[in-house]
Amino acid sequence: SQPIYSLERGCIVGAEALVRWQHPQRGAIAPDQFITVAEQTGQIDAVGRFVLRTACMDAAAWPTPPSQPPPFISVNVSARQLQHGQLPELVEEQLRHSRLAAQRLHLELTETAMFSNESEAIATSTRLRALGVKIWLDDFGTGFSGLSHLRRVPADGVKIDRSFVSDMLEDPDDLALTTAIIAMAHSLGITVIAEGVETEGQYEALRTRGCDSAQGYWLGRPMPSAALAELLDGGR
């Protein structure tokens, strides 16, 4: 899991679950190398189920930092899982099993997954939100669907893609886009997370532009759940 920080309060508010495959010979394998294969072979359903169950169980055991709401766990959902239509049942089952409050589970759907079959994606997200789960649009800005879809899609927030954040201090276009996404999201009443924050300069630029939360190597690397629990315990 990788910690996510509130830019207003400067404290940890939740984490994103990032799956790692522990290979006996090759060590930890990054998801980019097996998620696509798992999607093609249909194994993504089993992987997705495992990730969701583990994430809910881990988060249910995390401590709540003093005078703060309990931390959330954000889980990536692949396009295929979204199309199966069984996602709300699976989510409900895992929430019940882990006893995690629904508000503490966030699901990240990519813009492209969302818009490849828009009406079905809208129906599924509506059902998920009715359970109390929050929906994030991941890799926002990279698809060409653009901001107009935001009005139709039931989402609680957007995650600004790493590619914008990494160049925002050098490239005026990326800075303008990032600023525009934040303003547009806020005018629609939804929140914004920036991913891939690697420097203090990027952190400050996002904070002064009113971005709600951020994650990235400068704030904290992906870490095992036990390490995240320790971080939550420490406060910061």
Residues found near ligand C2E in the complex (CB under 6 A): 2, 17-19, 30-32, 35, 51, 76, 78, 138-139, 162, 195-198, 215-217, 222
Min separation Cβ 157 and ligand C2E, Å: 14
Window contacting Ca ion (CB under 5 A); options: 41-49, 74-82, 122-130, 210-218: 74-82
Kindly state whether residue 108 participates in binding Ca ion, applying the rule CB under 5 A: yes
C-beta of residue 131 within 8 angstroms of C-beta of residue 159: no
Nearer CB in complex with ligand C2E: 38/229: 38
Q: Which is nearer to Ca ion, 63 or 218 (by Cβ)? A: 218
Q: Which of 58, 111, 138, 174 touches Ca ion (CB under 5 A)?
A: 138
Count of residues of this chain found to bind Ca ion when the rule CB under 5 A is applied:
5
Give the number of other Cβ atoms within 10 Å of residue 190's Cβ. Answer: 17
Picking from 140, 143, 191, the residue whose alpha carbon sits closest to that of residue 165 is 140
Helix (H, G, I), strand (E, B) or coil at 107: strand
CB of 17 to ligand C2E, least distance (A): 6
Compute, in degrees rounded to 10, the torsion defined by CA atoms 211, 217, 219, 225.
Answer: 110
Q: Long-range pairs for 168-176 at CB < 8 Å and ≥24 separation?
A: 168/202, 168/205, 169/199, 169/201, 169/202, 169/205, 175/205
Residue 115, Cα to own-chain centre: how many angstroms?
Answer: 18
Of residues 158-217, those binding Ca ion (CB under 5 A)? 161
Query: Which among Ca ion, ligand C2E, none contacts residue 58 (Cβ within 5 to 8 A by kind)?
Result: none
- Interface residues toward Ca ion, by CB under 5 A: 76, 108, 138-139, 161
